[in-house]
Structure 1
Amino acid sequence: MDSLITAASRALAAGDPLAALNIVALREDPPALALRGIAMAQLGDLPRAKALLQRAVKAFGRNEPLSRARCLVAEAEVALAARDLGWPVKVLEAARRLLEDHGDRLNAAHARYLQIRRLLLIGELDDAERLLAEQDPAPLPPALRAAHALVAAGIALRRVQAHRAQAALVRAQHAAREAGIEALSVEVEHAAQILEAPVARLIISGKEQPLKLAEVETLFASKALVIDACRYSVRGAGMTVALATRPVLFHLARLLAEAWPGDVSREALIAKAFRLQLSDESHRARLRVEIGRLRSALQPLANIRATPRGFTLVAEEVALLTLPVEDKHAALLALLADGEAWSSSALALALGSSQRQVQRALETLASENKIQSFGLGRSRRWMTPPVPGFATILLLPVSLGNG
């Protein structure tokens, strides 16, 4: 590696892409193409960065596997920044293994953190946590130690573990300060703001109040029966009953929680949960069946008792936790609120929905001026500025089985 390439590499490592470009802007050899691509990525020109890195991968070819693998890792990072979650993960894993086998442990660790960040975006928290546990950040340089701590904080945030997230962010802040990279410090600061913003609304006996993440964590650890409208589950006594795949049961549980300690009439339950008007005995029979299923699902957390006019939830304390903004497309808006430009295919992957369903939702939100798009066809991207006043961490999707 010549001295100019070395100097440009050091500039990029220090977070100074303009200095790197000044050194290699006019060069067309593979290492210069790769460094120019990384510089453009740091400057935010992701399409140009992607094109340069692809040229570098092709120029290195099969005869220089190590350099080619490093370019593939950089290309994967650009894809992640562009929210191209469909970028081939097997290619990244192959590049990581090659780097590991050749003793390039720093770039191999960087590739691993990219894999974990992708899993975090699509809600695969168990897999993300498993891979993170395999990484020892101690021997890594400050920038990668900050990346490790940021990923740990992200997992803790998604699991509603505010104290673990706070500790991880402190580690990330120290590492970012040691690295001296301003963009990294800004990323840590942005993550820390989530802990200080309301993430949900608490409703008890008809009274509402906003909650921060630490307060949600405390609520989950209390003796209260929590009807969690953020994750479509019921929590209590250290147990969680997932009802995301049983929407009618969750809707009934929410209606009962809203009325607690009072009851809800049969007419209201049928109208709101089934979207029907009580007109004959078949509707009452269906309600009895669904209430029986809900009663069975909630054992031993709570009981449901019949009253002369309807049903009531029986528990010492019942709390309803709702989204800070109740919107049909709340999870979609939460993903877009990170300020990045998303493709409809990436949003579909993150939400576990069909691309066509996501496209219809995007068009609806665009018609309501809640989001905006740019580009055409496959290059079309969607984004929205962060919603002021609250954090959206509890709106983000989590794969069933993660909590």
Structure 2
Amino acid sequence: MDSLITAAARALAAGDPLGALKRVALRDDAPALALRGIAMAQLGDLVRAKSLLKSAARAFGSRDVVARARCVVAEAEIALVSRDLTWPAKALDTARAALEKHDDRVNAAHAGTLAARRLLLIGRLNEAERLLSQIDPTPLPPALRAGYELAAAGIAIRRVRTKIARAALARAEDAARVAGIPALKAEVESVSLLMTRPAARLIADGGERPLLLEEVEALLASDTLVMDACRNVVRDAGTVVSLATRPVLFSLARTLAEEWPGDAPRDLLVRRAFRARHADESHRARLRVEIGRLRSELVALAEVNATDRGFALAPRRAREVAVMAPPVEEQHATVLAFLADGESWSSSALAIALGASSRTVQRTLEQLAEAGKVQPFGRGRARRWMTPPVPGFPTTLLLPGPLPRS
């Protein structure tokens, strides 16, 4: 490798893309194209960066397996930053395997970290955690170590493990400081701020207040019967009952919890669960059926007793009852939560992250655009959606994930 390529690579490692471009901007050989692509990515021109990296991969040829694999890893990182979740994940897996085979452990570990962060973004926490556990972060340079620790912190935040999250963020901060890359420091600081923002609202005793992540963790570990409206589950310290696929039952359970220790009137339960303005005899009959189903679901946690005017919740073990709701509740809060990270998203990427159809997401985005809450730019396949961070909305790291089990 000649001296200009070496100097450009060192400049990129130090977070100086302009310094790297000064050395290789006029060169079209494969190593120079790859370095130019990475430099353009650091400068924010992701479209140009992807084009240069593809050209570099072609220029390296089929014999230079390691160099081509490194280009694929760089493309994957750009795809992650640009929220291009349709980028082929199998290509990254193949590149990682090639790097491991040729003993390029640092870049193989980086590829694994990128794959874990993608899985985290689309809510596949078990797979992300399993993949990250296979990576030894010890040999990683500071910049890549910071990325690894950010992924670990993201998983811990989603699983509501605050001590583990804070420890990972502290290690990420140390690594970013050693790396000396301003953009990396800013990313770590941005994630660290999540620990100081409300992660949920506590509704109990006729009032409500915001909860930080530590307070959420304490609530879930307490002897309180919690109706978790972030995940549509009911739990106490020992048992979790998911009603994620039973929205009517969860609506009834939440209404009963909000009225506890008193009872919930039948008219209120009908309005909340069935969205009916007035309760007629058919609604009352359906209410009796759904209450029977709710009793069966909550048999290990609570009783649902009939009263003169409605129904009342009676916990079996818990001493208190509370509702834990998202910081902000509105019809399309989950879509806005993803867009609140300040990045531009395509409708297809949002569909993958949300587990919904592309058409459903497109209709939602169009409704939000009409309300002035999101803005599109670009046309056709290049169209992206974004919004400035919305006060009160959790970022993607705080979106619902599996609850920790005792």
TM-score of the two chains, using structure 2 as the length reference: 0.95
Match of 2:75 in 1: 75
Match of 1:139 in 2: 139
Match of 2:386 in 1: 383
SS in 2 for 1:195: helix
Amino acid at match of 1:143: A
Match of 1:339 in 2: 342
Gaps in structure 1 of 5+ consecutive residues: none
Change (3 A) 1:401 1:86: farther
Amino acid at match of 1:3: S
Match of 2:266 in 1: 266
The answer to whether the 8 Å contact 1:83/1:346 transfers is yes
Supply the distance in 2 between the matched residues of 1:234 and 1:18 (Cα, whole angstroms): 54
Supply the distance in 1 between the matched residues of 2:391 and 2:185 (Cα, whole angstroms): 21
Amino acid at match of 1:279: D
SS in 2 for 1:373: strand
Supply the distance in 2 between the matched residues of 1:273 and 1:391 (Cα, whole angstroms): 26
Matches within 5 A, 1:225-240: 225-240=225-240
The answer to whether the 8 Å contact 1:199/1:393 transfers is no
Matches within 5 A, 1:287-366: 287-315=287-315, 316-366=319-369
The answer to whether the 8 Å contact 1:82/1:341 transfers is yes
Match of 1:53 in 2: 53
Supply the distance in 2 between the matched residues of 1:191 and 1:85 (Cα, whole angstroms): 21
The Cα offsets for residues 179-230 of structure 1, whole Å up to 9 and x where unpaired, read as 2222111111111100011121111111111111111111111110111111
The Cα offsets for residues 39-64 of structure 1, whole Å up to 9 and x where unpaired, read as 11111111111111111112222122
Residue 279 (str. 1) matches residue 291 (str. 2):
no
The Cα offsets for residues 138-181 of structure 1, whole Å up to 9 and x where unpaired, read as 22222222112111100011111122111110111111112222
How far is 1:389 from its partner? 5.1
The Cα offsets for residues 312-358 of structure 1, whole Å up to 9 and x where unpaired, read as 11132111111111111111111111111100000000000000000
How far is 1:388 from its partner? 2.9
How far is 1:301 from its partner? 1.5
Gaps in structure 2 of 5+ consecutive residues: none
Residue 166 (str. 1) matches residue 169 (str. 2):
no
Residue 30 (str. 1) matches residue 33 (str. 2):
no
The answer to whether the 8 Å contact 1:350/1:397 transfers is no
Change (3 A) 1:224 1:386: same
SS in 2 for 1:138: coil
How far is 1:390 from its partner? 5.7
How far is 1:384 from its partner? 0.9
Residue 64 (str. 1) matches residue 67 (str. 2):
no
Amino acid at match of 1:278: A
Identical counterparts, % of pairs: 65
Amino acid at match of 2:395: T
Change (3 A) 1:245 1:331: same
Supply the distance in 1 between the matched residues of 2:161 and 2:404 (Cα, whole angstroms): 13
Match of 1:150 in 2: 150
SS in 1 for 2:103: coil
How far is 1:283 from its partner? 2.8
Supply the distance in 2 between the matched residues of 1:317 and 1:157 (Cα, whole angstroms): 25
Supply the distance in 1 between the matched residues of 2:207 and 2:403 (Cα, whole angstroms): 31
Farther-moved stretch of structure 1 (127-136 vs 264-273): 264-273
Supply the distance in 2 between the matched residues of 1:394 and 1:289 (Cα, whole angstroms): 38
Amino acid at match of 2:238: G
Amino acid at match of 1:342: W
Residue 40 (str. 1) matches residue 40 (str. 2):
yes
RMSD of equivalent CA atoms: 1.5
Supply the distance in 2 between the matched residues of 1:63 and 1:394 (Cα, whole angstroms): 40
The answer to whether the 8 Å contact 2:230/2:400 transfers is no
Match of 2:196 in 1: 196
Matches within 5 A, 1:4-23: 4-23=4-23
The answer to whether the 8 Å contact 2:109/2:136 transfers is no
- Given the alignment, which residue of 373, 376, 391 partners 1:370? 373
Amino acid at match of 2:252: L
SS in 1 for 2:202: strand
SS in 1 for 2:312: strand
Supply the distance in 2 between the matched residues of 1:185 and 1:367 (Cα, whole angstroms): 36
Amino acid at match of 1:383: M
Aligned length: 401
Change (3 A) 1:207 1:397: closer
The answer to whether the 8 Å contact 1:125/1:402 transfers is no
Match of 1:241 in 2: 241
Supply the distance in 1 between the matched residues of 2:393 and 2:280 (Cα, whole angstroms): 43
Amino acid at match of 1:257: A
Matches within 5 A, 1:112-131: 112-131=112-131
SS in 2 for 1:32: helix
Farther-moved stretch of structure 1 (299-308 vs 211-220): 299-308
